[in-house]
Amino acid sequence: MNNNKVSLVSLFTSFASIGAITFGGGYAMLPFLEREVCDKRAWIKNEELLDFYALGQCTPGIIAINVATYIGYKKRGFLGALFSSIGIIFPSIFIITIISALFINFQDNQYVISAVAGIKVVVCALIANSIYRLVKKSIIDKTTFSLFIIALICLFIFKINIYLLILLSIIAGLVIKKVKKELSHAK
Amino acid sequence: MTLFALFLCFLQIGAFSFGGGLAALPLIQQQVVTLNNWMSMSEFTDLIAIAEMTPGPIAVNSATFVGIHLFGIKGAIVATLGCILPSILFVAALGFLYNKYKKHYLLEGVLAGLRPAVVAMILSAGISIFLIAVFGTELNSFNIYAIIIFLCALYFMAIKKVNPILVLLLSGIIGGGFYIFMGLPI
């Protein structure tokens, strides 16, 4: 994969198109990112996208912007980061400007409310589909499966803070790596 | 009240919000309603509704909305740029380290631990959106139509490989049409 082939303009247009169709931002953006950046453009692999979500979650800033910026940075350095993040905000500026200029009480319009309700359901289906693909690619052995189940239990039953979960996962990852290293030395 | 103050305000929101989306809203409320009095609480409630109902990240939509409210399109551009500037700087620094040390065993360990947790977090975010879509915000109603649309959408996208954008558009039309014919939102 030749990194120089990705133009700044294509970074901008790709992320602008993602920004224009993402309802909800952050995790809701994942299915469209996968489709555009992994499948269509082949800029990064699905596993890398998951890394960028992990890093984007730990980096200060809005997660949707962080993920876009990581991808842009990876392809074209600082300028790539700039063009990707400006791409993702461009539709927001455009759409919100139009709505606030033309539609008074847009948020109270029953047709709009109902249309958005329909769209939100499909966003769930999209996320479900992406999660299935992610689980298949990243929950690959006993270790990752156990970590996944423990994280789910922490989130749903103990309702732990997301940053505590991140910290614990990092510690668990380091400990497992260390143990595996020791074991391979012992052999 | 100046453009620069607006920029600084959203720069802080961009720098101190982790995770984004709904997590950034309390921070925006504090800056915009409580500290600076740029908006009343009811204007802020409208802001949340519009930011959730329009495409794009919620925090960015909010920044744009506050900017327009105060200074028109100039304000929108300044506020959103303030919002993304910290991301660009932090990510450029961390991205550099990630590219350089991706194969280092410590970073490999960190990422190996984070990956399953992130999948779990995405699953949990997906489930909470689903619960709200089906059972309402207070989780006290049951919406059979939402489940039907969910299953149809999943079938067409996952099995029939229909373009998700088309499905998204159709679901919006179905949602709007539902109100026209049934007289109630989905």
Q: Where are the domains of chain A?
A: 3-138, 139-187
A45-59, B43-57, B71-85: which is most confident: B71-85
State yes or no: pLDDT of A153 exceeds 60: yes
Measuring CA to CA, how many Å separate A20 from each of A16, A88, A90, A95, A132?
6, 8, 8, 9, 24
| pLDDT at A1 (0 to 100) | 46
Contact list, B111 vs chain A (CB under 8 Å): 51, 54, 173
Contact list, B50 vs chain A (CB under 8 Å): 96, 99-100, 106-107
Contact list, A84 vs chain B (CB under 8 Å): none
Looking at the complex, does the CB of residue B172 fall below 8 Å from at least one CB of chain A? yes
Instruction: Specify the DSSP class assigned to residue A23.
Output: B
Nearest CA in chain B to A146: B116
Band (pLDDT 50/70/90 cuts) for residue B20 is low
ipTM value greater than 0.85: no
Which range, of A13-17, A45-49, A141-145, averages the lowest pLDDT?
A: A45-49
Mutate to test the interface with B, among A89, A104, A113 (most CBs of B within 10 A): A89
Across B93-120, average pLDDT: 86
Residues 21-60 of B with CB under 8 A from A: 21, 24, 46, 49-50, 52-60
| pLDDT at A4 (0 to 100) | 55
Instruction: Specify the DSSP class assigned to residue A61.
Output: E
pTM beyond 0.90, yes or no? no
